[in-house]
Protein backbone atom coordinates (compact mmCIF):
# COMPACT_ATOMS: atom_id res chain seq x y z
CA UNK A 1 0.00 0.00 0.00
CA UNK A 2 1.27 3.45 -0.92
CA UNK A 3 2.41 5.60 1.89
CA UNK A 4 2.96 8.82 0.05
CA UNK A 5 0.41 10.99 -1.66
CA UNK A 6 2.43 11.01 -4.82
CA UNK A 7 2.54 7.24 -5.03
CA UNK A 8 -1.17 6.97 -4.39
CA UNK A 9 -1.95 9.45 -7.12
CA UNK A 10 0.26 7.60 -9.54
CA UNK A 11 -1.57 4.36 -8.79
CA UNK A 12 -4.94 5.99 -9.31
CA UNK A 13 -3.79 7.65 -12.51
CA UNK A 14 -2.42 4.40 -13.85
CA UNK A 15 -5.70 2.64 -13.15
CA UNK A 16 -7.77 5.36 -14.81
CA UNK A 17 -5.51 5.41 -17.86
CA UNK A 18 -5.53 1.66 -18.20
CA UNK A 19 -9.25 1.16 -17.69
CA UNK A 20 -10.82 4.22 -19.23
CA UNK A 21 -8.27 6.02 -21.36
CA UNK A 22 -6.10 3.29 -22.84
CA UNK A 23 -5.12 5.32 -25.91
CA UNK A 24 -4.39 8.52 -24.07
CA UNK A 25 -0.98 9.99 -23.41
CA UNK A 26 -0.32 9.84 -19.64
CA UNK A 27 0.71 13.48 -19.47
CA UNK A 28 -2.73 14.56 -20.68
CA UNK A 29 -4.33 13.23 -17.50
CA UNK A 30 -3.55 15.60 -14.68
CA UNK A 31 -4.38 15.55 -11.02
CA UNK A 32 -6.93 18.29 -11.55
CA UNK A 33 -8.56 16.82 -14.68
CA UNK A 34 -12.31 16.70 -13.98
CA UNK A 35 -13.17 13.03 -14.28
CA UNK A 36 -16.92 13.02 -13.60
CA UNK A 37 -17.88 16.46 -14.89
CA UNK A 38 -15.52 15.90 -17.81
CA UNK A 39 -17.33 12.73 -18.83
CA UNK A 40 -14.50 10.27 -18.18
CA UNK A 41 -16.22 8.61 -15.26
CA UNK A 42 -19.82 7.66 -15.91
CA UNK A 43 -21.78 5.60 -13.43
CA UNK A 44 -20.30 2.26 -14.50
CA UNK A 45 -16.77 3.57 -14.65
CA UNK A 46 -17.23 5.17 -11.25
CA UNK A 47 -18.32 1.87 -9.77
CA UNK A 48 -15.29 0.18 -11.31
CA UNK A 49 -13.07 2.80 -9.75
CA UNK A 50 -14.80 2.41 -6.39
CA UNK A 51 -14.26 -1.35 -6.52
CA UNK A 52 -10.60 -0.81 -7.32
CA UNK A 53 -10.10 1.69 -4.50
CA UNK A 54 -11.83 -0.51 -1.96
CA UNK A 55 -9.83 -3.54 -2.93
CA UNK A 56 -6.52 -1.77 -3.26
CA UNK A 57 -6.72 0.26 -0.05
CA UNK A 58 -8.94 -2.06 1.96
CA UNK A 59 -11.46 0.63 2.75
CA UNK A 60 -15.23 0.88 2.43
CA UNK A 61 -16.83 3.74 0.57
CA UNK A 62 -20.41 4.82 1.18
CA UNK A 63 -23.00 5.42 -1.51
CA UNK A 64 -23.16 9.15 -0.78
CA UNK A 65 -19.42 9.40 -1.32
CA UNK A 66 -19.84 8.43 -4.97
CA UNK A 67 -20.06 12.09 -5.78
CA UNK A 68 -18.33 14.86 -7.69
CA UNK A 69 -17.09 16.28 -4.42
CA UNK A 70 -14.95 13.22 -3.67
CA UNK A 71 -14.27 11.55 -6.99
CA UNK A 72 -14.01 14.28 -9.59
CA UNK A 73 -10.23 14.57 -9.65
CA UNK A 74 -7.30 12.36 -8.79
CA UNK A 75 -6.47 14.79 -6.01
CA UNK A 76 -9.92 14.59 -4.43
CA UNK A 77 -9.93 10.82 -4.69
CA UNK A 78 -6.60 10.70 -2.96
CA UNK A 79 -7.93 12.96 -0.20
CA UNK A 80 -10.95 10.74 0.27
CA UNK A 81 -8.89 7.58 0.45
CA UNK A 82 -6.43 9.16 2.80
CA UNK A 83 -9.23 10.30 5.11
CA UNK A 84 -10.29 6.67 5.46
CA UNK A 85 -6.92 5.04 6.01
Partner 1 sequence: MPDQAQLNLTHLCEASNPAMERTTINNWWTEARQFGIATVQLALLLVVLRQFQIESNAFLRIAVLAFGGFVIHYFLPASLRLPFFSILSLAGIAIVLGGTTAAWLVGIGGLLIGICHLPVRFRTRTLLLIAGRSFLAVLRTDWLAVPWSKVIWPILGSMFMFRLIIYMYDLKHDNAPFSLARTISYFFMLPNVCFPLFPVVDYKTFRRNYYDIDPHKIYQTGIEWMTRGVIHLILYRYVYYYLTLAPAEVTRPREFVQFAITTFLLYLRISGQFHLIVGMLHLFGFRLPETHHRYCFSSSFTDFWRRINIYWKDFMMKIFYYPMYFRLRGRGTTVAILLSTLFVFFVTWLLHSYQWFWLRGSVLLSGPDVAFWTILAILVVINSFYELRYGRERTLTKASFNFAGFAKKAVCTVATFSVICLLWSLWTSETLPEWIALLQSVAHVKLADLGTLSMLVFAAVIVGGVANSVATPSLVKSRTRFSFQRSPLFNLAVLTFLAAVGIQEVYTQLGANAATLINSLRSGRLSRLDVATLEKGYYENLNRVERFNSQLWELYMNRPSNWLDVVGPGLERFTGNFLQKELVSSFVSRTNYGSLRTNRWGMRDKEYEKTRPPNTFRIAMLGASSVMGWGVGDDETFESIVERRLNEEHPESYEHYEILNFAAPGYTALQQVMVLDKALSFHPDVLFYVAAAREPSTSANYLAEVASKGVEIPYDDLKDLLSRAGVPSKPSLPIASRRLFPFRNELVSWSYRTIVGQCREHNILPVLVFLPQVQKGGWQEETPDILRIAKEAGFVVWDLGGVYDSNDVTSIRLAEWDDHPNANGHRLVASRLYSLLTANSQQIFSSKLADKDQ
Q: How far is the CB of 31 from partner 1 (least distance, A)?
A: 13
3-class DSSP state of 4: coil
Q: Does 6 interact with partner 1 (rule: CB under 8 A)?
A: no
Q: How far is the CB of 85 from partner 1 (least distance, A)?
A: 13
Which of 44, 49, 53, 77 contacts partner 1 by CB under 8 A? Answer: 44
Task: Say how far residue 54 (Cα) sits from the centre of its chain.
Answer: 11
Q: How far is the CB of 1 from partner 1 (least distance, A)?
A: 20
Which of 62, 74, 77, 78 contacts partner 1 by CB under 8 A? Answer: 62
- For 3, 58, 68, the CA distances from 35, given in Å and listed in that order, are 24, 23, 9
Q: What is the DSSP string of 65-80?
A: GSSHHHHSSHHHHHHH
Contact flags string 13-32 toward partner 1, x per CB under 8 A: ------xxxxxxx--xx---
Amino acid sequence: METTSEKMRETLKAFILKEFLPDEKPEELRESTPLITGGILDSLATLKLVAFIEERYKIQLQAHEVDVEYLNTISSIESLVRSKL
